[in-house]
């Protein structure tokens, strides 16, 4: 019985891996969606719509820097870096990078894809996220969130309902997806009025629905404008000797549904 289970898991892993690779090499537009814009980071002009994330108190932003050394264009990729601060500053031991642009407007149905690979390190957490343009800290859609040397990524939503109200499991608000982050993958999200749907390399990995409930804050995502963030954060306990950590962004695509 155990041998049969192991064989089944192995076969499923091979099939999923094959599907991931096939999708990852397919640059055609997605069925049911029309490409609205694309950034392929082949030259400096592609960054014109993006801004560098400013330093802030939130843990995602506390080491952010606008140093050009952390934002490198190379071989059709934008490479975002996290490094040890070369200057001896006790309150700023690390420097990290990230970019932000307008993402999804309230009441819009959209699809966002990013082709990315990660050179992460213990203590580093690369992310692709949608956050409210109002700056609210407990509302978040993580298209990916990856930790250190983990061979998987998280895809999740965060809200008042999942945090303050203590309801992260009804419905389940996160999924763990087994991938090799050091290889290129296409991470995607679709935002609908009644659900958030996640994908990796064309395979649907998670759906988070709006549900009937008296508890506040369960599905705020359709009611606000969301900005798109790509970057990485570092734990204050990160060993400087393992750095840099890097996020390679090949391209970002933004789709609207076909009418």
Q: Is the pTM of this model over 0.75?
A: yes
Peptide bond into 171 cis (omega under 30): yes
Region for 191 from its dihedrals, namely left if φ exceeds 0, alpha if ψ lies in -120 to 50, beta otherwise? beta
pLDDT of residue 248: 98
Which pLDDT tens digit goes with each residue over 3-14? 343 333 334 344
Low-confidence ranges of the chain (pLDDT < 50): 1-19, 22, 27
pLDDT of residue 6: 37
Which pLDDT tens digit goes with each residue over 48-84? 789 999 999 888 999 999 999 999 999 999 999 999 9
The DSSP string of 22-42 is HHHT--SPPTTEEEEEEE--S
Domains defined for the chain, CATH in brackets? 30-257 (2.60.120.200)
Place of tokens 């998670």: 206
**52: number of CA atoms within 13 Å, CB side?**
19
**24: number of CA atoms within 13 Å, CB side?**
18
């Amino acid at each position: 019985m155990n041998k049969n289970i192991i064989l089944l898991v192995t076969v499923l892993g091979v099939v999923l891996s094959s599907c991931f690779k096939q999708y990852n090499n397919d640059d055609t537009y997605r069925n049911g969606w029309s490409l609205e814009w694309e950034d392929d980071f082949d030259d400096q002009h592609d960054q014109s719509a993006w801004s560098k994330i400013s330093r802030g108190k939130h843990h995602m932003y506390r080491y952010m820097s606008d140093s050009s050394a952390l934002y490198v264009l190379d071989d059709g990729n934008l490479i975002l870096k996290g490094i040890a601060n070369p200057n001896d500053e006790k309150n700023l031991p690390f420097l990290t990078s990230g970019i932000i642009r307008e993402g999804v407007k309230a009441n819009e149905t959209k699809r966002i894809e990013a082709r990315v690979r990660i050179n992460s390190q213990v203590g580093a957490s690369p992310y692709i996220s949608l956050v409210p343009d109002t700056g609210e800290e407990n509302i978040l859609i993580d298209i990916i969130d990856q930790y250190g040397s983990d061979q998987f990524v998280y895809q999740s939503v965060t809200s008042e309902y999942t945090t303050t109200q203590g309801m992260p499991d009804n419905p389940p608000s996160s999924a763990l997806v087994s991938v090799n982050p050091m290889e290129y993958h296409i991470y995607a999200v679709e935002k609908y009025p009644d659900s958030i749907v996640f994908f990796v390399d064309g395979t649907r990995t998670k759906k988070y629905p709006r549900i009937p409930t008296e508890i506040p804050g369960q599905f705020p995502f359709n009611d606000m404008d969301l900005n798109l963030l790509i970057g990485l954060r570092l734990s204050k306990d990160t060993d400087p000797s393992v750095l840099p950590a890097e996020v390679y962004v090949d391209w970002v695509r933004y789709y609207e549904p076909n009418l």
